[in-house]
């Protein structure tokens, strides 16, 4: 008997459960008066399916070619947002092994993020030194580009909760800058520029586009609380090098996700709530919303010419991209392309020709031609809707789309619990009336209700058509039960052949959002720091000691396996202590930790790295400070005493 002969509940789709999930979701939508949206915007000769079309059974078909043997390296990195954990996660693909968690907007007591002085300076603090925020909600991760593909320099991730953008250095895979974007709420979508022809001398793109989701009164200081007509939204651009604001565009509607073109001319965001409603039911009244395009050069020309305004005390230049200001295509900064309905997701094909927007509350995906949008800006296209060249009916609850290198798109269907593979050119032919063209190529059942999905190198011109990952929001019965909060699934799908094949279930901790899959040869990391990078480094053991300036005390320490440079150090109750620790070991992977009992201090220092903490010695007594990171055969003996005199 082979694995294919074995049919168990764990390897077969529970169609009864899927039908229940679909029915429950549809009932919820119809109860909100939205059922009409699910059948709206049908293709010319098709009706929306009442339930999921049959898909390939989602049984595991993994073989050795998808396995990574002990001691072997993965082919790809997957960089994933951690959702409301506030972190970014790194997985190896195809193994699914979790390699690292990068703390960004959260406190992490493993590495000391949010505890050390260096990390507090990046996170931001209140005047009294306490953290400005202790929570975050990461959603989308994207890297810098050179000529349309990743260059491995920076990665960016947004914080939807507090409207922040963080930059991660890819050589150390650590956050080094955080910017709070002014005037906005609900910063959901972000994307780096794929090509930056303006900034000569920079070997990567320098713009990061940021779309805010929640419209608020501008200025949001207590005025106009109930007047929905005063609620507006802003689309922002950040400089990736300086991590400072470049400009903002005043717009109508809520931004969802963001995309950028391969020629550097356009940025885009799909929009829902073009009704500008402030209540749930008002956000879904219209059958058509929009994909909004930004003419980058015109915006920057307007900013340079001073055709801007400012909001309150903000110094960020704001230009007008509302519908009212965009009636003349030849001067417009923005183009609103109508699409159905409450769309979720906008992605550009690897050849740069088309954008795909999913309907979410329509069973369709909308294909928008890049060249036609540019023609509208040039006054050569009468109606923005004429930029739509395809609108295939693909299934219920379409959300995110990835692409392979053969002209195919892969879209997650939340309500159908499927991945649908459809051909872009066939969709265009079908839209033109070719009845022989069949856009949908394949379907695969996933478990259950996929939210985000992405292909290997799919956000670059080097999309390779190897893998698709489906991040599913429900995983009941897929893993060992761990209580009411279930693990979620990242299902690895082989898309290299004509038929999609489910390769593996990778469990993930709640709640990841979007990810990117990057070839391993692109990422070049450092393995050891350089002492010279740290201005406060303790360069020599002879420099260790306790240095007093009134009640402010600096303690300088060196760690070198298996000992700290001082056996003990003495301070007085009430002293403000700044402890500086430098790791003098040069061996790759030889990390030391430093923990102080009862003082809520724990952090690590990697080889040749320096970190510091500041605290008040308010408890007299003896406190054994010990190495918290296993480093040496004598690791347990690696200690020093902090003696706090009364």
With vertex at residue 206, the alpha carbon angle to CA 233 and CA 176, rounded to the nearest 5 degrees, is 90
Confidence label for 199 from pLDDT (cuts 50, 70 and 90): low
pTM for this model (two decimals): 0.91
Give me the pLDDT at residue 21, please. 45
Q: Is it the case that residue 11 has pLDDT exceeding 80?
A: no
Q: Is it the case that residue 38 has pLDDT exceeding 60?
A: no
Give me the pLDDT at residue 45, please. 38
Q: Is it the case that residue 451 has pLDDT exceeding 70?
A: yes
Give me the pLDDT at residue 203, please. 65
**Digit-coded pLDDT (tens) for 75-100:** 999 999 999 999 999 999 999 999 99
Q: Is it the case that residue 47 has pLDDT exceeding 50?
A: no
Q: What is the mean pLDDT of residues 351-370?
A: 96
Q: Is it the case that residue 630 has pLDDT exceeding 60?
A: yes
Q: Is it the case that residue 8 has pLDDT exceeding 90?
A: no
Give me the pLDDT at residue 283, please. 84
Give me the pLDDT at residue 281, please. 85
Confidence label for 197 from pLDDT (cuts 50, 70 and 90): low
Q: What is the mean pLDDT of residues 507-515?
A: 91
Element holding 371 (H helix, E strand)? helix 370-377
Q: Which residue has the tokens 């050179």?
A: 146
* Residues contacting 112, CB < 8 A, separation 6+: 119, 602, 603, 604, 611, 613
Per-residue buried b or exposed e for 179-207, using 16+ beta carbons within 10 Å of the residue's own CB: bebbbbbbbbbbbbbbbbeeeeeeebbbb
215 against 607, higher pLDDT: 607
Give the start-end residues of each E strand in 252-333: 254-260, 266-272, 289-295, 318-320
Q: Is it the case that residue 27 has pLDDT exceeding 80?
A: no
Q: What is the mean pLDDT of residues 563-581?
A: 98
Separation of alpha carbons 2 and 249, rounded Å? 59
Give me the pLDDT at residue 25, please. 46
Give me the pLDDT at residue 284, please. 82
Query: Residue 607 in contact with residue 631, Cβ under 8 Å?
Result: no
Query: Residue 149 in contact with residue 644, Cβ under 8 Å?
Result: no
Give me the pLDDT at residue 219, please. 87
CB atoms within 10 A of CB 628: 19
Using a 10 angstrom Cβ sphere, with 0-12 exposed, 13-18 middle and 19 or more buried, the burial of residue 239 is middle
Query: Residue 399 in contact with residue 344, Cβ under 8 Å?
Result: yes
Confidence label for 326 from pLDDT (cuts 50, 70 and 90): very high
Give me the pLDDT at residue 115, please. 96
Q: Which residue has the tokens 């898309």?
A: 495
Percent of the chain residues past pLDDT 70, beyond the cut: 89
Domains of the chain: 75-522 (2.130.10.10), 531-645 (2.60.40.420)
- For every residue of 501-546, DSSP letters joined together read EEEEEEEE-S----EEEEEGGG----SS--GGG-TT---SGGG-EE
Q: What is the mean pLDDT of residues 350-355?
A: 98
476 against 304, higher pLDDT: 304
Q: What is the DSSP letter of 314?
A: -
Give me the pLDDT at residue 280, please. 80
Q: Which residue has the tokens 């079908």?
A: 430
Confidence label for 201 from pLDDT (cuts 50, 70 and 90): low
Lowest mean pLDDT among 273-277, 313-317, 468-472, 499-503: 273-277
Give the start-end residues of each E strand in 274-331: 289-295, 318-320
Give the start-end residues of each E strand in 332-479: 334-339, 346-348, 354-358, 365-369, 388-390, 398-403, 408-413, 418-423, 440-445, 450-455, 467-472
Confidence label for 63 from pLDDT (cuts 50, 70 and 90): low
Q: Is it the case that residue 533 has pLDDT exceeding 60?
A: yes
Preceding omega of 552 cis (within 30 degrees of 0): no
Q: Which residue, 244, 140, 149, is CA-closest to 194?
A: 149
Lowest mean pLDDT among 10-24, 72-86, 274-288, 473-487: 10-24
Confidence label for 46 from pLDDT (cuts 50, 70 and 90): very low
Separation of alpha carbons 177 and 244, rounded Å? 10
**For all residues of the chain together, what is the average pLDDT?**
90
**Digit-coded pLDDT (tens) for 112-147:** 999 999 999 999 999 988 899 999 999 999 999 998
Q: Which residue, 339, 363, 370, is CA-closest to 270?
A: 339
Confidence label for 49 from pLDDT (cuts 50, 70 and 90): very low
Separation of alpha carbons 550 and 568, rounded Å? 20
Q: What is the mean pLDDT of residues 294-304?
A: 97
Give me the pLDDT at residue 51, please. 53
* Residues contacting 566, CB < 8 A, separation 6+: 544, 545, 557, 640
């Amino acid at each position: 008997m082979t694995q294919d002969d074995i049919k168990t509940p764990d390897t077969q789709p529970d169609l009864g459960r899927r039908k229940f999930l679909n029915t429950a979701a549809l009932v919820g939508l119809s109860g909100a008066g939205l059922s009409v949206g699910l059948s709206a915007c049908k293709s010319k000769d098709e009706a929306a399916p009442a339930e999921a079309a049959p898909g390939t059974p989602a049984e595991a078909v993994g073989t050795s070619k998808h396995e990574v043997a002990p001691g072997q390296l993965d082919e790809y990195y997957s960089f994933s947002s951690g959702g409301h954990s506030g972190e970014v996660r790194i997985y190896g693909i195809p193994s699914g092994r979790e390699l690292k968690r990068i703390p960004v907007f959260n406190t992490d007591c493993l590495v000391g993020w949010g505890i050390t002085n260096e990390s507090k300076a990046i996170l931001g603090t209140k005047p009294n030194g306490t953290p400005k925020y202790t929570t975050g909600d990461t959603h989308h991760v994207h890297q810098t580009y050179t000529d349309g593909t990743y260059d491995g320099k920076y990665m960016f991730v947004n914080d939807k909760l507090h409207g922040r953008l963080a930059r991660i250095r890819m050589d150390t895979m650590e956050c080094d800058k955080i910017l709070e974007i002014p005037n906005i709420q609900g910063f959901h979508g972000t994307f780096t520029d794929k090509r930056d022809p303006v900034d000569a001398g920079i070997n990567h793109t320098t713009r990061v586009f940021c779309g805010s989701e929640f419209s608020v009164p501008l200025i949001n200081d207590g005025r106009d609380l109930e007047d929905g007509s005063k609620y507006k939204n802003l689309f922002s651009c950040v400089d990736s090098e300086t991590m400072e604001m470049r400009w903002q565009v005043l717009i109508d509607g809520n931004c969802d996700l963001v995309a950028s073109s391969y020629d550097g001319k356009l940025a885009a965001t799909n929009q829902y709530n073009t009704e500008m409603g402030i209540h749930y039911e008002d956000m879904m009244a219209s059958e058509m919303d929009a994909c909004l395009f930004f003419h980058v050069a015109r915006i920057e020309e307007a900013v340079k010419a001073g055709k801007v305004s400012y909001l309150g005390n903000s110094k960020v230049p704001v230009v007008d991209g509302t519908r009212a200001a965009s009636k003349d295509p030849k001067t417009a900064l923005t183009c609103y392309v109508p699409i159905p309905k409450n769309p979720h997701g906008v992605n550009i094909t690897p050849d740069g020709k088309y954008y795909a927007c999913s309907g979410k509350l329509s069973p369709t995906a909308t294909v928008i031609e890049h060249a036609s949008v540019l023609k509208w800006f040039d006054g050569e296209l009468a109606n923005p809707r004429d930029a739509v060249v395809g609108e295939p009916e693909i299934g219920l609850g379409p959300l995110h789309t990835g692409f392979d290198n053969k002209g195919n798109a892969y879209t997650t269907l939340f309500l159908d619990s499927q991945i649908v593979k459809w051909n872009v050119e066939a969709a265009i032919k079908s839209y033109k009336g070719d009845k022989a063209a069949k856009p949908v190529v394949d379907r695969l059942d996933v478990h259950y209700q996929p939210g985000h999905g992405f292909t290997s190198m799919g956000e670059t011109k080097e999309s390779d058509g190897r893998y698709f990952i489906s991040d599913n929001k429900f995983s009941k019965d897929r893993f060992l039960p761990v209580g009411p909060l279930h693990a979620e699934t990242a299902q690895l799908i082989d898309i290299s052949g004509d038929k999609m094949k489910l390769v593996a279930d990778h469990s993930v901790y709640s709640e990841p959002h979007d990810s990117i899959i990057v070839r391993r040869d692109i990422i070049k990391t450092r393995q050891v720091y350089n002492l010279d990078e740290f201005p406060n480094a303790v360069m020599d053991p002879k420099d260790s000691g306790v240095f007093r300036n009134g009640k402010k005390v600096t303690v300088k320490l060196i760690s070198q396996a298996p000992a700290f440079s001082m056996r003990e150090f003495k301070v007085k109750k009430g002293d403000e202590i700044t402890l500086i620790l430098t790791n003098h070991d040069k061996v790759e992977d030889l990390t030391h930790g430093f923990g102080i009992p009862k003082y809520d201090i724990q952090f690590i220092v990697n080889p040749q790295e320096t970190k510091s903490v500041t605290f008040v010695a308010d408890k007299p007594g003896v406190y054994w400070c010990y190495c918290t990171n296993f480093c040496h055969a004598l690791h347990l003996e690696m200690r020093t005493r902090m003696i706090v005199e009364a």
